Amino acid sequence: MLSQKVNDALYSVRTSRVKLFRKIHGKPLWAVQPMSLQIDTQSACSLRCKYCNPQACYVENVSQRILPMSTLDRLLEMLSEKKVFINYARPWMNGDPLLELRLKEINKKIKKALGARIDIFTNGVEYKNRHLLHDSNINDIRFTISAANEELYNTVHGRPKFSEALKTLEWVTRHKYFYQRLWINFILFDENAHNLADWQKMFQNYRQDVRCLHFGEGRNQSKQLTDFDVELKTRRDAFFRSIEQQEKPCPCFGNMAISSEGKMLQCCDVDYKFNWGHIEEIDVMEAYRKRLDAGLNHIACRNCNQKNPHWKELFEKYVWA
């Protein structure tokens, strides 16, 4: 309990810099620079989750989609030289970090260059690579387990790996550093909403993060969100309200997303073709400014249903004025 409070305090101190910027400059940090960094250093995954991003790039030709370390070095060098404050970094996006055998080296580079908090999201099914999570540079470890029984897990995550995920979770629970926070994430959508109460009970000894599948209507493999499911509708509505309260254009805009091809994406939730160029060939902050100028008028954003209804007002107030 004490270690949890210590880590929460450290997290609060670091993230307070974002709030302080808002008070001093009268505008949110995202209107000036990215607040977080998400990278696909590789695009491989052992599962085929129904709600996964529409990239569909994590299955085929894995060997051709590995980010060179030199490209990562170039990115970190630019961000460091320009003194960009990255609140947290996530060396993952569409793949699973337990399939990235360079993970510890990548975490070390990010921590040294940016000092950012490092959050790792994993499905945990690669038990043989569990040692990658025993890393002092990681601050938060999040297991995405969106079901409380094997049968539903197979349906939601696409592979019979429930026991493997639980085995890895148990190992990490015993071997994590005292300052690391351990979470269990549940992606809530129409096919697993009925299982939420059982899931909450099953993982009651862990931090829990329930995330509504806010992009449900637009995902390639998921059904349309159902208004008759009270739990789902309540959480979905709360999600959109939270975006408005945060004064963010959308959940993803503060992210700088880098593809495994080394390109700076318009958004971490869209196809790789929507990008601002290769890291080796662009100035990342100039590209971010172009992204700010485009706002959510960008072709990749036009049909997205994650947008804050007031996104134009936010850009006009903080960026375009």
Measured over the CA atoms of residue 50, residue 126, residue 98 and residue 148, the dihedral's sign is positive
* Angle at alpha carbon of residue 113, lines to 138 and 283, rounded to 5°: 125
φ and ψ of 209, to 5 deg: -135, 110
Q: What is the pLDDT of residue 173?
A: 98
* 3-state class percentages of the chain: helix first, strand second, coil last, to nearest 5: 45, 15, 45
Q: What percent of the chain has pLDDT over 70?
A: 88
In this structure, are residues 312 and 295 in contact, taking their beta carbons and an 8 Å threshold? yes
* Answer CATH for 2-318 from 2.40.50.140, 3.20.20.70, 3.30.1330.60, 3.10.310.10: 3.20.20.70
Count of Cβ atoms closer than 10 Å to residue 303 Cβ = 9
Give pLDDT tens digits for 25-65.
Answer: 999 999 999 999 999 898 788 888 887 765 554 444 444 57
Report CA-CA distances (Å) from 194 to 199, 206, 218, 239, 240. 10, 20, 22, 19, 22
φ and ψ of 121, to 5 deg: -105, 130
Give pLDDT tens digits for 147-158.
Answer: 999 999 999 999
Alpha helices in the chain (DSSP H): 2-25, 69-81, 103-114, 150-157, 162-175, 196-202, 230-245, 284-294, 311-318
133-142 burial, b at 16+ Cβ within 10 Å, e below that, comes to bebebbbbbb
Count of Cβ atoms closer than 10 Å to residue 256 Cβ = 25
Give pLDDT tens digits for 187-237.
Answer: 988 788 889 999 999 999 999 998 876 544 343 333 444 445 677 777 777
Q: Range with the lowest mean pLDDT among 125-129, 162-166, 172-176, 208-212?
A: 208-212
Count of Cβ atoms closer than 10 Å to residue 143 Cβ = 23
